[in-house]
Amino acid sequence: MTMKLTKVDLKKDLKELYRPSSKEVSVVEVLSMNFLMIDGIGDPNTSKDFERAMETLYPLAYGLKFMSKLGEVAKDFVVMPLEGLWWADDMSAFAEKRRDEWKWTLMIMQPDFITREMFDEAVETVRKKKSPALLDLARFESFDEGAAAQIMHIGPFDEEGPSVERIHAKIEELGKKRALKHHEIYLSDPRRTAPEKLKTVLRQAMR
């Protein structure tokens, strides 16, 4: 008799982090988690590297899913949504939409039973099958965000400004200062979702 694997869905297990209210800013404590990551720079709408980063991260994420399911770990899980950290040397580049100056880290969170050794193996498997352009830039790294303020933004990416301002106002109200980088979690596929219905978690760490 074969036992059915339980599928881990961290979006549900970590609902407070991945399904916040769209009506009010919430304060959360984000524990250290492991991610697949790739850094880059440039306009996400036109940058070849932005597209290549996604073409690298997803094969790795699904490769790790199948390794986990079929290997010694014997655990299945739902691949997590794409996330992004955003910053610039001159932060006015965001307000003025100088997108070529935007710096980013694209990333996909991994369950705690995925190890660095599994990541290394997945890299070599993906290299043999697809060999995406940015594979050698991919890394497996922990990210410890800590205390943060967040809100669910519903609508086009270009209209995130007021939601970001609400987060910043909440941080000031709490007597805190912004820390680390602007964080976004993309819960909708922009290729299949109307812009006005896109759901994006906006988060800002604070200290």
pLDDT value at position 3?
61
* Residue showing tokens 């910053």: 87
A 10 A CB-CB count for 46 gives: 10
pLDDT value at position 10?
96
d(CA 183, CA 156): 16
**C-alpha angle 90-28-76 in degrees, rounded to nearest 5:** 100
**Domains plus CATH for the chain?**
24-206 (3.20.80.10)
pLDDT (tens place) for every residue of the chain, 207 residues total: 456 778 999 999 999 999 999 999 999 999 999 999 999 999 999 999 999 999 999 999 999 999 999 988 899 999 999 999 999 999 999 989 999 999 999 999 999 999 999 999 999 999 999 999 999 999 999 999 999 999 999 999 999 999 999 999 999 999 999 999 999 999 999 989 999 999 999 999 999
pLDDT value at position 6?
80
Buried b (16+ CB within 10 A) or exposed e, 120-146: eebbebbeeeeebebbeebebeebebe
Global pTM value: 0.95
